[in-house]
Amino acid sequence: MRTRTMVSVAVTACVALMACACGPEKSKADTAAKPSQPSASARTEKPSASPTGNQPAPRTKERAIQRYEQYLHALGREDIDTVCEVAGPGAKKAQDKGFGPCTSTYVVVFQMISPAQKKALQTATVDPQRIVVRTPDKIEMPLEAVRTSATFSESDLGSYTLEYLKNDYYITDGT
């Protein structure tokens, strides 16, 4: 399966899991995936992109960009917790189509991304001029908006839709 398809499936699966609050249940596949998770020090390097306290995140283009960059950086670090948190609703859709849970699916996706691409994703940015705001609740992040030191094709990374759900933006679809 092409990398882009796997990433889309993984995003869909992860987004779905997030929508279900990524419950404490863990399958044997999830437990087996733990060795590939990043160390605790890698997780502490990510910038805080969560709203503070019980306050909802702002429903702005800037917040959607921040969340997508958070996802890209986590993808590059192989930070499964953050990837599955941001991509939860999309991941649920993939899981409903027969793919495994986010934590299992993204372990495979991580293996499909080259070391150079992973490094580039860790510092990726999004060009605000290239995103498409459909509504304040639905923002499209085309591949052309992602700025990295590595080259990505539609089959590698692709484009994603973020939607404002449960007081923040989440990846709900990939094309």
Q: Could you give all domains of the chain from N- to C-terminal order, each with its CATH number?
A: 3-20+57-174 (3.10.450)
Q: How confident is the model over 156-171, as a mean pLDDT?
A: 93
How far apart are the C-alpha atoms of 22 and 13, rounded to whole Å? 11
162 vs 46 pLDDT, higher one: 162
- 60-114 pLDDT tens trace: 999 999 999 999 999 999 999 999 999 999 888 888 888 889 998 888 889 999 9
How far apart are the C-alpha atoms of 128 and 132, rounded to whole Å? 9
In this prediction, residue 174 has a pLDDT band, given cuts at 50, 70 and 90, of confident
pLDDT of res. 100:
87
* Neighbour count for residue 166 (Cβ, 10 Å): 13
How far apart are the C-alpha atoms of 79 and 88, rounded to whole Å? 14
Strands 125-126 vs 160-165: parallel, antiparallel or unpaired: unpaired
How far apart are the C-alpha atoms of 121 and 103, rounded to whole Å? 19
Q: How confident is the model over 109-128, as a mean pLDDT?
A: 95
Please check the confidence at residue 138 and state whether its pLDDT lies above 50: yes
Q: What percent of the chain has pLDDT over 70?
A: 70
In this prediction, residue 52 has a pLDDT band, given cuts at 50, 70 and 90, of low
Q: How confident is the model over 139-162, as a mean pLDDT?
A: 93
SS3 100: coil
